[in-house]
Amino acid sequence: MAEAEESPGDPGTASPRPLMRDLKAVGKKFMHVLYPRKSNTLLRDWDLWGPLILCVTLALMLQRDSVDSEKDGGPQFAEVFVIVWFGAVTITLNSKLLGGNISFFQSLCVLGYCILPLTVAMLICRLVLLADPGPVNFMVRLFVVIVMFAWSIVASTAFLADSQPPNRRALAVYPVFLFYFVISWMILTFTPQ
């Protein structure tokens, strides 16, 4: 986590600055995810605020408007949370067990930040769903989700693939693919009642 430095002897004006610094760091990482390049920013200064914000946003947007019956509805808030965080932890453990040289929190940070394209897709889908339902509506949503899914995979692979030896890279990347596939599925099947 980025350190919150208090300026000495100035308690009144100290608090806004570290918050702005943290927010700027989170925003900078968002940019790095949207335009993935070979850079070490996500790995070097990892933080988990971004993933938390993204996960909460995604889980809130996946809530349906009406109170549906428990059995038949979409994912509950807790289910989304569990899938995202346990999924990320499992992938990180898998990567480390295969012999990757990435630290636990760095990997969580990368996986969490790379949910950003899918959160954007969820936003777009909710807007598109305000229009008439129909096959065109579905095609647009399908296209958006597929593009964002590919973006997430490319972004996370750019950061994670280098940490594995080349003969195991596919083994480490496949669970990431599965993880984002499940999240994309949750987004695509979302229907407000």
63 binds another protein per the rule CB under 8 A: no
Q: What token pair was written down for 146?
A: 């597929």
Sole binder of another protein in the list 43, 53, 74, 120 (CB under 8 A): 74
Residue 75 Cβ, how far from another protein at the closest point, in Å? 4
Mark 130-169 with x for binding to another protein (rule: CB under 8 A) and - for no binding: -------------------------------------xxx
Residue 89 Cβ, how far from another protein at the closest point, in Å? 13
23 binds another protein per the rule CB under 8 A: no
Residue 120 Cβ, how far from another protein at the closest point, in Å? 21
171 binds another protein per the rule CB under 8 A: yes
What is the per-residue DSSP string for the chain? ----PPPTT-HHHHTHHHHHHHHHHHHHHHHHHHS--S-SHHHHT--SHHHHHHHHHHHHHTS-SS---TTTSS--HHHHHHHHHHHHHHHHHHHHHTT----HHHHHHHHHHTTHHHHHHHHHHHHHTTS--SHHHHHHHHHHHHHHHHHHHHHHHHHHGGGS-GGGHHHHHHHHHHHHHHHHHHHHT----
Part of the chain binding another protein (CB under 8 A), chosen from 7-15, 68-76, 104-112, 120-128: 68-76
Identify which of residues 36 and 74 has a Cβ nearer to another protein in the complex: 74
Distance separating alpha carbons of residues 68 and 139, to the nearest angstrom: 26
Residue 26 Cβ, how far from another protein at the closest point, in Å? 29
Identify which of residues 56 and 98 has a Cβ nearer to another protein in the complex: 98
**Cβ(46)–Cβ(109) below 8 Å:** yes
Sole binder of another protein in the list 79, 81, 124, 162 (CB under 8 A): 79
Residue 6, Cβ density class (10 Å: 0-12 exposed, 13-18 middle, ≥19 buried): exposed
State which of positions 85-104 bind another protein (CB under 8 A).
94, 96-99
Where on the chain is the footprint of another protein (CB under 8 A)? 68, 70-76, 79, 94, 96-99, 167-171, 174-175, 178, 181-182, 185-186, 189-191
